[in-house]
Amino acid sequence: MTDADPLAQQRAACPFCRIIRGEIPSTKVYEDEGFIAVLDIRPAAPGHVLLVPKDHAPILQLLPEPRLRAVFPLATRLAGAVKDAMISRSVDIVVVNGLAPGQQSPHAIVHLIPREPGDRLGNFDLERLETQQSDTIALAPQLEATVREVLARLAPGALAEAAPPVAPPEQSPPAPARQVGERHVEFDDPKQALAHVLDLNPDLRKLIVEQPSLVEDYVRQSPRLAKLFQGVDIPALSAALRAQQADPPRAKDMSDPELFAFIQGNDGLRAWLLEAPDELVAHVRENLRLSAFFEGVDVRALANRFAAFQGGAS
């Protein structure tokens, strides 16, 4: 170790790395190749466990990806073990990411804290929501886009399962569909069924565009998906959808009923138009996607028309 190796110095002095190396005694309750779990010596409640990655990383995001992906499923399983062992009502998983005041070491850890009704940790319930957060509300589109992007990689089906946006009337499925349940529709033509699914699931469409080979893997694995994609050349479909995306929808090309249906299918946009149209106007100026979508449209006038439409609809 040299002065030029600050991470090694930090690791050498880090109390959690020293616990992992056995240089500081601890009460270990779990260990595998990537993690140890020890009892907190300053517990918030009896049974308070610290889950410690063996990699020295100041924040969780800096863990190697396999470790990062493993940490919360493991924490959840250990939380179940702690809950059973302590016969507690529930367990909170708490992470402080970054150097908070009083934090002892820049080593990312996960707290597992048993909870009981009426315990002295009610502040963790976060029931008092009193701070205005207009800055964060303004960030909502970026938060949504970023989370969508990650979820599309981690669990694309979860996006596909999201409440489907309402398609504009002209894009609704054609007549041969049979409504057989609240959300379930049957088609005689498999390609029509696939088109319907793609209409309702923009994120599945995105997955096909961005990762056709992954979709092929899923289709090989699933008889249901194989039926849905029967006779479909997925790479060719991907290329076709990509070509469609080159010409994205624009508000000015839609009639009011189409546009209102589109807005109804987008909770964030709907809330913005109804509750904070001025903020939306500001974001349309800053956000390329929004400005492209609303190009040539008076957003405040649209908000008024949509509010009137909503009032009439309700």
Partner 1 sequence: MTLETGLFAMEVPAKGATRGHVRFALRSTAPEEVGTVALCGLVASAVLFERLKAQWTQFVLALGDAPRLDVLARWEDDGLDLTWEPVVLEPGRMDDIAGRIRDKAFPVSSSAPPAPVDRQAVKEPSEDAPAGLADHDPSEGDDWRVKQLLRIP
Shortest distance, position 257 Cβ to partner 1, whole Å = 23
Q: With contact defined as beta carbons under 8 Å apart, do 278 and 299 qualify? A: no
Site string for partner 1, 6-35 (x = CB under 8 A): ---------------------xxxx-xxxx
- Residue 213's φ and ψ, nearest 5 degrees, are -70, -35
The answer for residues whose C-beta is within 8 angstroms of residue 9's C-beta and 6 or more apart is 1, 3
Under the binding rule (CB under 8 A), the answer on residue 185 touching partner 1 is yes
Under the binding rule (CB under 8 A), the answer on residue 220 touching partner 1 is yes
226-265 positions binding partner 1, by CB under 8 A? none
Site string for partner 1, 150-179 (x = CB under 8 A): xx--xxxxxxxxxxx---------------
Shortest distance, position 244 Cβ to partner 1, whole Å = 19
One-letter amino acid identity for 73? P
> Would you say 221 or 291 has its CB closer to partner 1?
221
Stretch that binds partner 1, among 4-12, 149-157, 168-176, 284-292 (CB under 8 A): 149-157
Q: How many residues does the chain have?
A: 314
Stretch that binds partner 1, among 6-14, 85-93, 248-256, 280-288 (CB under 8 A): 85-93
Among 5, 24, 97, 230, indicate the residue that binds partner 1 (CB under 8 A): 97
Under the binding rule (CB under 8 A), the answer on residue 282 touching partner 1 is no
- At 241 the three-state DSSP class reads helix
Q: How far is CA 93 from CA 15, 72, 116, 294, in A?
A: 21, 9, 14, 42
- Rg (Cα) of the chain, in Å, rounded? 26
